[in-house]
Amino acid sequence: MRSDAAGLPVAIVGGGFSGTMTAVQLARRGVRSVLLDGGGRMHRGVAYSTAEPAHLLNVPSGKMSAWPDRAGHFAQWLGDDGTSFAERRGFGRYVEGIALAHDALIERREQGASAASPADGGWQIELADGSVVQASALVLASGNQPPAPMRVAEDAGALFVNNPWSQEAAAVVARIAEDGGDVLILGTGLTMIDTVLSLAAAGHKGRVLALSRRGLLPRSHAPHQPFAAAMEEVPAGKVLPLWRWLRRRSADVGFRAAVDSLRPHSQALWQAFPPAEQRRFLRHARPWWDVHRHRIAPQIGEQLATRVADWGLEIVAGRLRLLQADGDGLAATIMPRGSIEPLHRRFAATFNCTGPLGDIKRTRDPLLRQMLSGGLVRPDELGMGLAVDERSRAGSNAWAVGPLTKGCFWEIVAVPDIRGQAEAVAADIVRELTR
């Protein structure tokens, strides 16, 4: 890197866990950074900025340390034995506290980035207010992208909430809780569960119908005996042999132990798949993997079971055929799986909880759109996120961290994975700045 850029801070776009811990790891190495985030969620991001006490971590506190080399740090901060499922807002305070402890080397700008261009060996980043930041290096850490608009909901109007984590969604939850009415949720994964919990916390008394193609719910955590698997004994390179291995092991030791045994090898296994096998996994195996891998707190599982039992929550496998505004509500036509007769229902609101954007070229983030269109970064081979190398480099003096790199690393959306990547990226930036 040229010496006239080496003295500038590193610009990190995105102030959630990925961006914050990259900034902290740089600070530990004596490197200044500037965190750019216009979402009003500095240091907490979408995942940990919730104010709902009902929103719990999906991982026990003993595994949620922000530091790769200090296991149990979060549990110690929390003051428990590492087995609790803490409130997510508490984890947000924990991460914020770590960042504030490194204040001297971390600058914060409550502005989103709209454009970036190489300049004098570094980068020039234009912010939403028109100001400019000069940086020695650029880290893209904007996290999961909001879902793309759904064609089936084009005529649904304001009663269809496309981004369940937006202020709009919070306003609709409050209104539905006051006015009553049934709710349709598209998707039956973790985001659906959070929306159900938000509705319940707001006092919603109506029924909720959650719809997905397979109608699969995330499994709950439960005590189990750990099972270790060496990389060489796990089939690599093709989905079907790996899937058969996982089913056999699940029969022997239980699915929780079998799935967890792959965690140390998940990135290597993903990268061993050729692109055709990665696509096969996404088409056929991903829904089953997600509900067994991304488990929920036991107490949340019990709440869901109670709501399903008393018909407060209905899980339906099928497809949404039609959704349109109908007076002060929405008329929906649902085709249940295995049925030839459609289901016609009326709802007060609908939430899109199908998950984050899966095609990076459809992102509405102005910086990513500008950098992609200008060839400064490019999509990964699956189009899920950004192409990066083994050191998470996305371009010249540019790195990507967190969910933006899931196409290359797959298991890179949880704290235990991101904290290691943030440390490695910070070390790589320091090597680049000092070479």
Please state the three-class secondary structure of 241-285 as a single string: HHHHHHHHHHHHHCHHHHHHHCHHHHHHHHHHCCHHHHHHHHHHH
Residue 320 scores a pLDDT above 70 = yes
Name the average pLDDT for the chain: 95
Tell whether 320 is covered by a domain. Answer: yes
User: Which tens digit of pLDDT belongs to each residue from 288-300?
Assistant: 999 999 999 999 9
* Confidence label for 226 from pLDDT (cuts 50, 70 and 90): very high
Shared domain check, 15 and 65: yes
pLDDT in the model for residue 349: 96
pLDDT in the model for residue 1: 43
* Confidence label for 4 from pLDDT (cuts 50, 70 and 90): low
pLDDT in the model for residue 3: 41
Which residue in this structure is represented by tokens 């991304």? 294
Nearest Cα to Cα of residue 368 among 115, 12, 74:
115
Shared domain check, 133 and 49: yes
Nearest Cα to Cα of residue 135 among 153, 149, 155, 121:
121
* Confidence label for 26 from pLDDT (cuts 50, 70 and 90): very high
Residue 266 scores a pLDDT above 70 = yes
CB 215 within 8 A of CB 338: no
Averaged pLDDT, 169-187 = 95
Shared domain check, 306 and 164: yes
* Confidence label for 252 from pLDDT (cuts 50, 70 and 90): very high
pLDDT in the model for residue 382: 96
User: Which tens digit of pLDDT belongs to each residue from 366-406?
Assistant: 999 999 999 999 999 999 999 999 999 999 999 999 999 99
Torsion of CA 191, 41, 26, 97, to 10 degrees: -100
Tell whether 225 is covered by a domain. Answer: no
Of 334, 352, 370, the residue that ends a domain is 352
User: Which tens digit of pLDDT belongs to each residue from 323-338?
Assistant: 999 989 999 999 999 9
CB 61 within 8 A of CB 94: no
Tell whether 224 is covered by a domain. Answer: no
Q: How many C-beta atoms lie closer than 10 Å to residue 70's C-beta? A: 11
* Confidence label for 6 from pLDDT (cuts 50, 70 and 90): low
Which residue in this structure is represented by tokens 């999961």? 144
pLDDT in the model for residue 148: 87
pLDDT in the model for residue 30: 96
Shared domain check, 127 and 61: yes
Pick the more confident residue, 20 or 47. 20
Which residue in this structure is represented by tokens 């070390």? 427
Residue 287 scores a pLDDT above 90 = yes
Q: Which two tokens stand for residue 144?
A: 């999961």
Shared domain check, 183 and 71: no
Sheet containing 113-119: give its strands across: 113-119, 122-127, 132-135
Compute the 3-state secondary structure of the chain and give helix, strand, coil in percent, each to the nearest 5: 40, 20, 40
Residue 50 scores a pLDDT above 80 = yes
pLDDT in the model for residue 388: 98
| Half-sphere exposure in the Cβ direction for 193 (13 Å, CA) | 26
Shared domain check, 82 and 46: yes
Averaged pLDDT, 124-129 = 96
Which residue in this structure is represented by tokens 């000092």? 434
User: Which tens digit of pLDDT belongs to each residue from 65-93?
Assistant: 999 999 999 999 999 999 999 999 999 99
Nearest Cα to Cα of residue 122 among 396, 391, 434, 366:
396
Number of domains in the chain: 3
CB 382 within 8 A of CB 282: yes
CB 85 within 8 A of CB 299: yes
Tell whether 226 is covered by a domain. Answer: no
Shared domain check, 379 and 302: no
CATH code of the domain covering residue 336: 3.50.50.60
For a pLDDT cut of 90, what percent of the chain falls above it? Answer: 95
User: What is the C-alpha separation between 80 and 60, in angstroms, rounded?
Assistant: 10
Q: For strand 208-212 and strand 33-36, is the pairing parallel, antiparallel, or unpaired?
A: unpaired
Phi, psi of 310 (to 5 degrees): -95, 15
pLDDT in the model for residue 31: 97
Strands (E), 57-131: 106-109, 113-119, 122-127
User: Which tens digit of pLDDT belongs to each residue from 228-247?
Assistant: 999 999 999 999 999 999 99
Range of the domain at 192: 151-219+296-352
Tell whether 155 is covered by a domain. Answer: yes
Averaged pLDDT, 299-304 = 96
Shared domain check, 136 and 40: yes
User: What is the C-alpha separation between 73 and 79, in angstroms, rounded?
Assistant: 10
Averaged pLDDT, 272-280 = 97
